[in-house]
Chain A
Amino acid sequence: MNLLLIAWKNLLQRRLASSLTALSIGLGVMLMVLVLVISGAVETAFTQRSIGYDLIVGPKGSDLQLVLSAVYRIQPPIENLPAMYLDELRNDRRVVTAVPLAFGDVTEDGSFPIVGTTDEYFQNEYLPGQKFSFQSGGQRMVKLFDAIIGADVARQNGWNTDDRFSILHGGAEGSKHDEKFTVVAVLAPTGTANDRTVFLNLDGFYAIDGHEKPVEEIEKRLRDFYAADADRLQQALTELDDYRQQLQVEEQTGTPAVAPRAMQEVTAVLVRTRPATPFDAISLSADLQKGFQAMAVNPIRPIQRLMTNVIGNVQKALMVMTGLIILVSGVSIFVSIYNSMSDRRREIAIMRALGAGRHHVFGIILAESALLCTGGAVLGWLTGHGLAVAAAPWLIRRTGLLISPWNISPWEFTLFPALAALGILVGFLPALTAYRTNVADALSQ
C-alpha cells in the first residue's frame, strides 16, 4: 500500500467531512470554469471579425455605441444621419456597397429589435465568407410592410411566413404602432445578432405613422449636418420648402404629400470598400474624420477596447472572487483536517509503531489534503464544463452568446497544479502535527 492509497482510505473513513470539503473546493473551481468559459465566449464573440463589412458609418459620437447598436443590436442609437448622406456615400468611388440601417423600435412580442434595411443586406455576407440562407419564405421584401425575421425570433415567437405582427415605438412612450407587418421569410441561424432581429423594408420603416419627424426638426438637423456644404444644404432646404407646401395642400384637399429624400434618415450605413485596395477603408474613414457630422468606424476596434477596458477587468474581478472562494475552501480543508488530528493521534502512533517514519505520516496527511483539493478541483472542473454544455443552448437562445463548453482556457492548465499546491499549503500544519506526534504518549492514551 502506498501513501496515496493510505491517505485515500483515511479520507473514506471520514466520508462526510471529506466530501463536504472537497465539494466546497469543487464549487469554487466550477465557478471559475464558468467564468472562464463565458468570458472566453464573450471575448471571441466580440473580437472576431463580427460583420461582413469594412466600415460602419454613423453620426458622430461614441464609436462603441455605434458598433453595439449596428452590429450587436444591443443599444439604441441617439442620432441619425440624413438619407441624402447615404446617397453621397454610394457615389464615392471607394465604396462598393453601402447598406442603410434604420432602427429604434422593437416587436410587441419578445421585444426583438427592428431594423429597417434593403434587400442588399441579405445579398451581402453577414460574416466574412458567410452568406445568409433562408429556412423558409420568399427571400425578398417586396411590399411595404413585408418583414424578414431571424431564426431565434421565429423559434421563440413561433412565427413563420405569412404570420402578421405589430411593433412598439422604441421611444420612452412605448406606444404600439397601428401598422401590421407580414413575415415573408425566415433566416437560417447565423450565430450572430441577426438571429434576434426583425428586418423591415426600409421604405416600410419610413412609412410607419409617427416615424416622420416634424419638418422643422429635420430642417434644424440638416442645417447642422451640412453647415460646411452650402450646395447640399440649399438643395435640401428647397426640398423641405416644397414639402411644406405639399403638406398644406394635403390638409386642404387631401392630396397626399410625398416625403422628399431630405425628410428621410438612416441610423447607420454598412460600407464595403473595394477589396483590392485595403487603404480605401482607411482613407474614407480619415475623410469622415475631417468632416463634422459623420464618422466611419472599423467594427472591431471599439469592441476590442471595450474588451480590454471593461470586460477584461470584470473577468479579472470575477477570477479574483472565485480564487478567493477556492482559498476559503482551502481554509475549510485546513480546519477539517486540523480538527481531526487530535482524534487521530493514536492512529498515527500505531503507524509509527508499525515502522512508519515521521516523514511517512507527514506525507500521508499532506496527501490527504492534496487529494481533497485536486479531487474537488477535478469534480468542479467536470461539473463546470458539464454545466456549460447544458447551458449552451439556453445561453444562445437568451443572449445569442455562442459558447464552446469544452474550450479549455490556458488558465485551466494552471488550475490543477495550483490546487495541489493549495492542498500542500493547507495540509502542511496538520502534517507537521503528525510529524511531531510523541508516539509513546499517544500510545498510552
Chain B
Amino acid sequence: MSLLLQHIRKAYRQPEGDLLPVLGIEHFELARGEQAVLLGSSGGGKTTLLNTISGILVPDSGRVIVDGRDIVSMPEVVRDRYRASRIGIVFQTFNLLPAFTALENVLLGMTFSGRAVDHDFAKELLQRVGLGHRLHHRPSRLSVGEQQRVAVARSLANRPVLLLADEPTANIDPANQDLILKLIRETCRDHKVSLLMVTHSMDAAQQFDRIERLHEFNQPELCQTGAVR
C-alpha cells in the first residue's frame, strides 16, 4: 500500500480566533500503482488534504502512512527527506524555480533526497515528457504547458511511490490538458507510481477508474471532538 490515512483531523485557526474544521477522514487508502482522481467543491479541503499527505501540513491528529511509515510522527527533518524520496508533487502553476534550466530543475528534485544525482535519468525523464530538446531552457523560455511537463518529469526524479497532483492542467489549453494528463498517467504507470490527482474537470476525471469525491469520505464535523493543534 502506498498511502493510508487514519483518523485525520485538521482545522485551521481563523484570524478571528475560532476554528475552521476542514478535514475529518477516518480511513483512506491508495494501493501501489493505483490511480485516483479527487473531486470536490472549491474550498472543500482538497489542497489541505494533499498538503497533509505530503507532510507540508501536519494534521491535528491521525496518521499519514506513506510507503509503510507514519510521516506525522517523524521529526521534521526526517519528514522533509522522506518527502523528497517518496513523494512527487505537481502544483497548478509556477512549479519551477526560475533560476534553473529545465534539466537543473529536475536535478534539483534529486538534490534533497540524499541519494546520488542521476543525470542520465533526469534527461531520460525530460525526453519522456517530450522536452529532450529543451533541456537547457529556463522556465521563462518555456510555454506554460512545457513548464508543466518539466514539473511532471521533476516529480518523478526520485522514483517516488506516490505522485500528488493539484489541478495540474487547470491553466493549460484543452488540447494540451489531455496530453499532459495522459503523460502523467502513463509515466506513473510505467514507473509503478500511485497517483492522487485533484481536478475540477469532469472530462479528466472520467478517464480514471477510481473517482473519489471528498465530501463523501470527509466529515469535517469530526474535528469538533478531536484535540486541535
Contact = CB atoms under 8 A, between A and B. Distances in A.
Interface of A: 1-2, 6, 9-10, 12-13, 346-347, 350-360, 439-440, 443-444
A356 B95 contact: no
The prevalent SS among residues of A at the interface is helix
B112 interface: yes
Contact of B98 (A347, A351, A353, A355): A347
B108 A358 contact: no
Most interface-central of B51, B82, B96, B112 (chain A CB within 10 A): B112
Nearest to B117: A1
Interface string B39-71: 000000001000100101100000000000000
Interface string B86-100: 000101001111111
Contacts of A443: 51, 56, 91
19 contacts: A9-B104, A13-B99, A346-B94, A350-B91, A350-B94, A351-B97, A351-B112, A352-B80, A353-B89, A354-B84, A354-B109, A354-B111, A354-B154, A355-B81, A355-B109, A355-B112, A357-B76, A357-B77, A360-B112
A13 B89 CA distance: 24
Contacts of A2: 111
Contacts of A6: 108, 111
A1 B111 contact: yes
Contacts of A9: 99-100, 104
Contacts of B57: 440
A151 B28 CA distance: 94
B108 A351 contact: yes
B104 A355 contact: no
Contacts of A360: 112
A356 B100 CA distance: 16
Contact of A352 (B56, B94, B98, B99): B56
Given A360-B112, A443-B91, 14 more contacts: A9-B100, A12-B99, A352-B56, A353-B83, A354-B84, A354-B108, A354-B111, A355-B81, A355-B82, A355-B112, A356-B84, A359-B77, A439-B56, A440-B57
B177 interface: no
A1 B107 CA distance: 7
A8 to B, nearest CB: 9
A355 B97 CA distance: 14
Which 10 pairs from chain A and chain B are nearest by CB? A355-B84, A13-B99, A355-B112, A357-B80, A356-B112, A9-B99, A355-B83, A1-B111, A439-B56, A10-B99
Contacts of A350: 91, 94-97
A356 B47 contact: no
Contacts of A444: 47
Contacts of B47: 444
A10 B97 CA distance: 9
Nearest to A443: B91
A9 B100 CA distance: 7
Nearest to A7: B99
Nearest to B154: A354
A444 B94 CA distance: 11
